[in-house]
Amino acid sequence: MKHFLDINKTAPADLRAMIDAARAMKDQRGGRPKGTPDDDQPLAGRMVALIFEKPSTRTRVSFDVGVRQMGGQTMVLSGNELQLGHGETIADTARVLSRYVDLIMIRTFEEATLLEMAQYASVPVINGLTNRSHPCQIMTDIMTFEEHRGPIAGKKVTWCGDGNNVFASFAHAAGQFGFDLTFTGPETLDPEEVFLAEARAKGSTVEIQRNPQKAVEGADLVVTDTWVSMHDPQSARERRHNQLRPYQVNEALMTHAKPDALFMHCLPAHRDEEATSAVMDGPNSVVFDEAENRLHAQKAILRWCLGV
């Protein structure tokens, strides 16, 4: 049984194999129409359940298309349809779904929901996102960086903004892939110390720098994310904007990074808030390559989980 729950819970050799497989599958498609199947159909006869307690665009479409390109079928289920943990325990839902499908991808709020699903499922479970981590996105980001700049080992990544679930997975990846990581943002939105400590224990340099200009000095990659969640009340949105405004990624900030530093944002973006349109649409931005590569990276994760 191979679950994909977090980057730090997966062996570095397996992570590297997934990145290499994703790039190979992307190359093999050779720009063919999106609706055409892959030559290889490793998921033929397989059924994948895609569970969404949280709404999604990229996760839903990329997993659905990826499974179909590889010959499989999907069943998309919302949290309301399943009433996870309400009408039936998560453990019982996991046991029942395992009798019907070959793999479960779940995008949920609480990490505990994911972990309970994986504990009781007898099929592989993939973390499509929780409030604590977003490993599929960071596998995509590693793939995208290496596509443009070669191996990420030894490079410097600077994260600007909120120490959220996406940053947490970047910290997991720093330790597993061997790159250095700097966080710049307000102290009130610092990431959990456990994420930083684990990466440092594996040999990565992980720093918190309050000055955003100093934080991006020498950076090979600058990353940000939305300042607010769709579920945040208006009062929280205003408070976050006030705290995070000094950490906006704009053209002036990018001049302090390396001249060829890439810019990433996992999308959706609130343009001219966390990052200006000039940066997002600029020559160093790879945000839409990231969006495309969710498809290829997740196809590799699916194959790894199923051993095909």
Q: Which residues are catalytic?
A: 107, 134, 137, 225, 266, 294
Residue in this structure with the two tokens 């994703």, named with its chain if needed = 22
Do the bridges between strand 180-184 and strand 103-107 make them parallel or antiparallel, or are there none, so unpaired?
Answer: unpaired
Give the other-Cβ count within 10 Å of 11's Cβ. Answer: 9
